[in-house]
């Protein structure tokens, strides 16, 4: 007997939440078109890839419109997949984010090496809408999916010597062909103070727009620290190490006068080569004022007593 | 009909095609949404790229004649130079009017405080008198020797343009290096005269 077989799983259907927001995408596109004086902008594509089960949602970007999926996934700084903004989306096919092993070690009582999906099962996934401010003075509003890094750190029981957290991107020129050229020293490394890492805003992201993170955005696991410049958001993480001493970070190693360890968004401290006072929100014509800590002023207490001018 | 005569006819037309093609391509990409998520930055970067490209191309005919005796490219030299100046002005106008939306305070601060913008601005200031004096009338008025000496400012503009590009990029110096090598070689090729033809 012939039976009707669905050719599409539930997981493949557009989530209702996004379907209901489809007009917002169109509006954003139309606003962009008006602003640019061009007939219309790239039609906003629907998010693609497998969906993630999200337990909680928090909109933490002051109700600002989301940057369309197409823009978030086609305009990326991920030098391991090429140094032009469009390169990572073009070259992401060489990155194989599953299976993927992550090691968390160093100054913890319970170091682990585990599969990324096993890691993701340990924590309820949350959607967090954050502003993302690049050091190059452009910004986006992105609905990340992930879990607070602090939850992971607490679970592994840091020793009393744990003062910093070091992160490392995969080193594999076959998967990340940009590593064949020493544009910067590979692998990409980043770091946070442990109190920054444990702050409830700090996220380990595995998705965006309710979908599994695309390669160009740092699949399968990346750091998101919304009050810091985007270069702090290390992508395609293979190792997280708690340390006693401040770890080296890629951009400050390359150009210490331009990029510091902290990378806190600060409109009053210019990058030596350009002003940080304003930023261009992707999709907008006029630049907008950059907010201190990218609008996340609640983290200011982490830096009490420190000169904000030294926190670039 | 001698070969030169037919070349006389197609050469100016080909010159126009070459100098206008990047603008046509830009317009086509804008119309079909191929400028990416940050079209303002994409246009700025492309105009800068073509400024340097035409500056480099305008330096080709002279050494080419010196080394191979090929003379007809010299007839394109002025058009390539004027194109470079026009793309430079478009690049600056886009930065001023679109990227910064005439925020003069920011622009002045940029030109004064940001070395990469300072040298880029200097390059444009050097190209302006060259564009203005590019007509036959100005060649006559100045006399060819003086005109030629003045137009050697293009060398300085090209070098400043490369410095502007190199100081702008964050880490990947590949493209500025290619321009630096190409322009460096084109300048060096003028120093040592090749087999002179009389």
Residue that is written with structure tokens 């305008």 in the block: B58
Stretch B97-116: mean pLDDT, rounded? 96
In this predicted structure, the answer to whether residue A28 has a pLDDT above a threshold of 50 is: no
Please give the pLDDT value at position A70.
96
Residue A270: band (very low, low, confident or very high) from pLDDT cuts 50, 70, 90: very high
Q: What pLDDT, in 10s, does the model give residues A194-239?
A: 999 999 999 999 999 999 999 999 999 999 999 999 999 999 999 9
Range of the domain at A180: 10-310
CB of B190 within 8 Å of a chain A CB? The answer is no
**Dist. CA A153–CA A109, nearest whole Å:** 10
Q: Say if pTM beats, i.e. exceeds, 0.95.
A: no
Q: What residue has token string 């740092």?
A: A218
Exposure string for A256-274, b = 16+ CB within 10 A, e = fewer: eeebbbbbbbbbeebbebb
Q: Is residue B102 less than 8 Å (CB to CB) from chain A?
A: no
pLDDT at A46 (0 to 100):
85
CATH number for position A257: 3.90.420.10
Please tell me which residue, A38 or A227, carries the higher pLDDT value: A227
> Does any CB of chain A come closer than 8 Å to the CB of residue B178?
no
Contacts of A183 in chain B (CB under 8 A): 171-172
Specify the pLDDT at position A308.
83
Q: How far is A237 from chain B (nearest CA, A)?
A: 21
Residue A3 located in a structural domain = no
- Cβ-Cβ contacts under 8 Å, B36 against chain A: 74-75, 85-86
Q: What is the 3-state secondary structure (H, E, C) of chain A?
A: CCCCCCCCCHHHCCCHHHHHCHHHHHHHHHHHHHHHCCCCCCCCCCCCCCECCCCEEEECCCCCCCCCHHHHCCCCCCHHHCCCCCHHHHHHHHCCCCCCEEEEEECECCCEEEEHHHHHHCCCCEEEEEEEECCCCEEEEEEEEEEEHHHHHHHCCECCCCCEEEEEECCCCCCCHHHHCCCCCCCCEEEEEHHHHCCCCCEEEEEECCEECCHHHCCCCEEECCCECHHHCCCCEEEEEEECCCCCCHHHHHCCCCCCCCCECCCCCCECCECCCEEEECCCCCCEECCHHHHCHHHHHHHCCCCHHHCC
Cβ neighbours of A42 in B, within 8 Å: 33
B112 touches chain A (CB under 8 A): no
Structural domain contains residue A49: yes
Q: How confident is the model at residue A30 (pLDDT cuts 50, 70, 90)?
A: very low
Return the percentage of chain B with pLDDT > 70, whole number: 93
The pLDDT-based confidence of B8 (bands split at 50, 70, 90) is confident
Distance, in Å, from the CA atom of A81 to the CA atom of A113, rounded to the nearest integer, reads 25
Hey, which residues 75-94 in chain A have their CB within 8 Å of chain B?
Answer: 75, 79, 83, 85-86
Residue B139 confidence (pLDDT): 95
With a cut of 90, say whether residue B104 has pLDDT above it.
yes
pLDDT digits (tens, 9 = 90+) for B152-173: 999 999 999 999 999 999 999 9
ipTM of the complex: 0.90
Which pLDDT score, from 0 to 100, does residue A309 have? 83
Would the pLDDT of A148 be above 50?
Answer: yes
Q: How many domains does chain A have?
A: 1
Q: How far is A273 from chain B (nearest CA, A)?
A: 5
B13–chain A nearest CA distance, Å: 30
Our CA-based measurement puts residue A54 at a distance from the nearest CA of chain B, in whole angstroms, of 27
Better-predicted residue by pLDDT, A32 or B4: B4
Q: Average pLDDT, whole number, for chain B? A: 93
pLDDT bucket at B29, cuts 50 / 70 / 90: very high
**Residue A143: inside a domain:** yes
Q: Which neighbouring-strand residues pair with A222?
A: A205
Give the nearest chain B residue to A135 (CA atoms).
B170
Contact call for residues A254 and A159 (beta carbons, < 8 A):
no
Of how many residues is chain B composed?
A: 198
CA–CA distances in Å: residue B124 to residues A51, A272, B50, B51, B92: 51, 22, 14, 10, 8
Query: Is the predicted pLDDT of residue B5 greater than 70, yes or no?
Result: no
A269 interfacial to chain B (CB closer than 8 Å): no
Looking at beta carbons, which residues of chain A come within 8 Å of B33? 40-43
Mean pLDDT, rounded, for A46-66: 94
Residues forming a β-bridge with A271: A274
Nearest to B156 by CA among B77, B55, B65, B51: B55
Predicted pLDDT at A12:
56
Is residue A116's pLDDT more than 50? Answer: yes
Instruction: Please indicate, yes or no, if residue A269 is contained in any of the structural domains.
Output: yes
Cβ atoms < 10 Å from Cβ of B150: 14
Q: What is the pLDDT of residues A271-296, one digit of tens each?
A: 999 999 999 999 999 999 999 999 99
B39–A275 C-beta distance less than 8 A: no
Query: In this structure, is residue A4 part of a structural domain?
Result: no
Whole-number average pLDDT of chain A? 90
Asked if A183 and B171 touch (Cβ cutoff 8 Å), the reply is yes
Average the pLDDT over B114-123 and give the result.
97
Chain A residues with CB under 8 Å of B115 CB are 273
């Amino acid at each position: 007997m012939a039976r009707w077989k669905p050719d599409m799983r539930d997981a493949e259907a557009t989530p209702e939440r996004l379907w209901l927001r489809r007009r917002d995408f169109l509006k954003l596109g139309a606003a962009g078109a008006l602003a640019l004086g061009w007939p219309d902008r790239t039609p906003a594509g629907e998010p693609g890839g497998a969906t993630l089960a999200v337990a909680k949602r928090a909109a933490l970007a002051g109700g600002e419109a989301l940057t369309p999926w197409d823009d978030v996934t086609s305009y990326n700084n991920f030098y391991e997949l090429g140094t032009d903004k469009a390169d990572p989306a073009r070259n992401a096919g060489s990155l194989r984010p599953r299976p993927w092993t992550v090691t968390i070690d160093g100054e913890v009582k319970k170091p682990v090496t585990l599969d990324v999906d096993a890691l993701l099962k340990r924590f309820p996934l949350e959607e967090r809408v954050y502003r993302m401010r690049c050091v190059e003075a452009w910004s986006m509003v992105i609905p990340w999916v992930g879990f607070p890094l602090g939850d992971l750190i607490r679970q592994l029981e840091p020793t009393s010597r744990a003062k910093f957290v070091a992160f490392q991107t995969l080193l594999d020129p076959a998967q990340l062909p940009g590593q064949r050229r020493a544009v910067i020293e590979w692998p990409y490394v980043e770091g946070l103070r442990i109190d920054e890492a444990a702050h409830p805003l700090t996220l380990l992201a595995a998705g965006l727009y309710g979908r599994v993170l695309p390669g160009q955005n740092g699949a399968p696991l990346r750091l998101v620290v919304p009050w810091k410049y985007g270069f702090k958001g290390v992508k395609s993480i293979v190792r997280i190490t708690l340390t006693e001493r401040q770890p080296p970070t890629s951009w400050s190693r390359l150009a210490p006068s331009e990029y510091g360890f902290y990378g806190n968004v600060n409109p009053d401290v210019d990058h030596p080569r350009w002003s940080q006072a304003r930023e261009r929100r992707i999709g907008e014509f006029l630049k907008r004022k950059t907010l201190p800590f990218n609008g996340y002023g609640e983290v200011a207490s982490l830096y009490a007593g420190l000169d904000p001018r030294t926190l670039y | 009909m001698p070969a030169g005569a037919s070349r006389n006819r197609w050469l100016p037309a080909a010159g126009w095609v070459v100098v206008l093609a990047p603008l046509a391509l830009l317009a086509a990409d804008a119309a079909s949404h191929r400028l990416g998520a940050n079209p303002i930055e994409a246009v700025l970067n492309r105009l800068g790229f073509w400024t340097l490209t035409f500056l480099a191309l305008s330096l080709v005919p002279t050494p080419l004649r010196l080394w191979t005796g090929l003379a007809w490219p010299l007839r394109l030299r002025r058009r390539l130079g004027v194109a470079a100046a026009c793309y430079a002005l478009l690049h600056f106008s886009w930065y001023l009017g679109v990227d910064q939306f005439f925020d003069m305070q920011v622009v002045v601060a940029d030109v004064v405080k940001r070395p990469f913008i300072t040298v880029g601005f200097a390059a444009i200031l050097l190209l302006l008198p060259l564009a203005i004096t590019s007509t036959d009338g100005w060649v006559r008025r100045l006399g060819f020797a003086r005109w030629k000496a003045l137009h050697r400012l293009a060398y300085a503009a090209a070098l400043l343009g490369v410095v502007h590009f190199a100081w702008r990029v964050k880490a990947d110096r590949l493209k500025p290096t290619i321009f630096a090598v190409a322009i460096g070689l084109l300048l060096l090729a003028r120093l040592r005269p090749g087999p002179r033809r009389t």
